């Protein structure tokens, strides 16, 4: 697994590949869209439990706001850096436009390993991030949400801090909140649920279905466990799972409930008694029908793309396949359902959450899921039609759809 691929360069390469099909109509707007509109870097002081003061670095990248407020999560990870945040914000602009959500793209991050912080320190850090950035946030400006290592509890601290600073309860500034303070039903499972809707419809378009498929999931956060349960319910066999420590593989199927119990006890999947153990790198190259990378970027690169044995990839993580690996997989006729479609269920229900906050009227879980299914299936149709008509991979097909919408909005607003 190569760490040398700069994710922001990957995002730009993906945009350039799609713009070939839109040029020269939006040349001016395209040049602008290659860079985030604004990147804010802040230092956040936290008084630690031992009385010392530590400084943390945080970012918010606002990539494109032509179609609406910037939208995207905040990541807590020791490897967060400016280029990663810029890439993730670019992918959010493309993702929101692929789904035709009236939103732009943004992303934030703090360089921290949250596992090393106490609950009080984590709360201080989260509130400190908002104190440094609140002037740039708001329901019509920029709406953060959870991402890697952040969750509803952190959103609750953040929306509380924000509302105190601006002097009014403003739930629509953050999404992915707990339901008790204006979160949406179905947001907690939305990323995985959206992925299952897309996968089901994609397979249907090939006269196939999920039942009987052997699936491997490279996991880290919460989405992959939900995904594993949903796929199992749909009749798939989960033959492999991994976390940051390693992987297990068992062609007769893995007991997901047992894995969930292990993870709840802060143990690794490798503590599971059945199955063969592999490293994360070996794991990705094992045979299966569907491989679901649901961890971090740059997992499938030039170094392993030729060795992938999966027949189909569904990107639940952001940016797990690099552009060079994409080309190899495309030439090997291994389709990749790209992140900007496959994991868009999360931001789609975030959008629903914001809509409900605006109305102060809330939908049932069933209503949310029905609306999510419609959105995901519609977006898949656009992407399939675009990639078929241009004879390009699904990712480029999606980028063409999304970029035409973004660039047209920029042109209409005469963005400078």
Residues that bind ligand GLU (CB under 6 A): 71-73, 145, 147, 175-176, 318, 343, 346-347, 350
- Cβ at position 244, least distance to ligand GLU in Å: 18
Nearer to ligand GLU, 149 or 237 (CB): 149
Nearer to ligand GLU, 44 or 344 (CB): 344
Nearer to ligand GLU, 73 or 275 (CB): 73
- Cβ at position 368, least distance to ligand GLU in Å: 13
Report residue 415: phi and psi, to 5°.
-60, 135
Q: Which of 71, 95, 107, 232 is catalytic?
A: 107
How far is Cα 148 from Cα 221, in angstroms, rounded to an integer? 6
Nearer to ligand GLU, 73 or 128 (CB): 73
- Cβ at position 151, least distance to ligand GLU in Å: 11
- What residue number has its CB nearest to ligand GLU? 73
The helix (H) or strand (E) run that includes residue 159 is: helix 152-166
- Cβ at position 158, least distance to ligand GLU in Å: 13
Give the number of other CB atoms < 10 A from CB of residue 119.
9
List 145's β-bridge partners, or say none: 73
Would you call 25 a catalytic residue per the annotation? no
> Looking up tokens 């959103």, which residue turns up?
155
Instruction: Give the single-character DSSP code of 348.
Output: H
Tokens standing for 3?
A: 């760490």
Query: For residues 108 and 129, is the Cβ–Cβ distance under 8 A?
Result: yes
- Cβ at position 318, least distance to ligand GLU in Å: 5
Nearer to ligand GLU, 181 or 281 (CB): 181
Nearer to ligand GLU, 61 or 343 (CB): 343
Q: Kindly report the length of the chain.
A: 416
> Looking up tokens 């360069």, which residue turns up?
9
Give residues with Cβ within 8 angstroms of 355, minimum separation 6: none
Q: CA gyration radius for the chain?
A: 20
Among 24, 98, 34, residue whose Cα is nearest residue 67: 98
How far is Cα 333 from Cα 325, in angstroms, rounded to an integer? 12
- Cβ at position 320, least distance to ligand GLU in Å: 12
What does 122-151 look like in DSSP terms, one character per residue? HHHHHHHHHHHHGGG-BTTTEEEEE-TT--
Residues tagged active-site: 107
């Amino acid at each position: 697994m190569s760490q040398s691929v700069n994710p922001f360069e990957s995002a730009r390469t993906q945009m350039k590949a799609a713009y070939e099909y839109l040029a020269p109509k939006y040349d001016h707007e395209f040049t602008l869209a290659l860079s985030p509109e604004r990147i804010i870097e802040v230092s956040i002081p936290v008084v630690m439990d031992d009385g010392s003061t530590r400084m943390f670095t945080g970012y918010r990248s606002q990539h494109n706001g032509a179609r609406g407020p910037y939208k995207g999560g905040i990541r807590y990870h020791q490897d967060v850096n400016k280029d990663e945040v810029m890439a993730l914000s670019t992918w959010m602009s493309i993702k929101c436009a692929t789904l035709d959500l009236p939103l732009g793209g943004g992303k934030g991050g703090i360089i921290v390993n949250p596992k090393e912080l106490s609950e009080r320190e984590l709360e201080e850090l989260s509130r400190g991030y908002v104190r440094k950035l609140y002037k740039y946030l708001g329901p019509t400006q920029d709406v953060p949400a959870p991402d890697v290592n952040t969750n509803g509890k952190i959103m609750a601290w953040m929306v509380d801090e924000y509302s105190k600073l601006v002097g009014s309860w403003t739930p629509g500034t953050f999404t992915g909140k707990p339901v008790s303070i204006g979160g949406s039903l179905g947001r907690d499972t939305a990323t995985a649920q959206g992925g299952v809707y897309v996968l089901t419809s994609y397979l249907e378009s090939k006269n196939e279905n999920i039942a009987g498929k052997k699936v491997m999931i490279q996991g880290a956060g919460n989405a992959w466990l939900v995904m594993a349960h949903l796929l199992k319910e749909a009749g798939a066999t989960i033959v492999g799972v991994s976390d940051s420590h390693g992987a297990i593989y068992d062609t007769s199927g893995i007991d997901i409930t047992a894995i969930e119990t292990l993870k709840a006890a802060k143990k690794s999947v490798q503590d599971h008694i059945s199955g063969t153990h592999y490293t994360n790198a070996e794991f990705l190259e094992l045979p299966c029908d569907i491989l679901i990378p649901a961890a971090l970027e740059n997992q499938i690169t030039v170094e392993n793309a030729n060795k992938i044995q999966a027949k189909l990839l569904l990107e639940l993580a952001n940016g797990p396949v690099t552009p060079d690996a994409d080309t190899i997989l495309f030439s090997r006729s291994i389709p990749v359902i790209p992140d900007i479609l496959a994991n868009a269920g999360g931001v789609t229900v975030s959008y629903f959450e914001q809509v409900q906050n605006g109305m102060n009227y809330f939908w049932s879980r069933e209503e949310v899921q029905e609306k999510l299914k419609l959105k995901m299936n519609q977006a898949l149709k656009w992407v399939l039609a675009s990639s078929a008509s241009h004879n390009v991979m699904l990712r480029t097909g999606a980028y063409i759809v999304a970029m035409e919408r973004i660039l047209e909005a920029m042109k209409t607003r005469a963005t400078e």
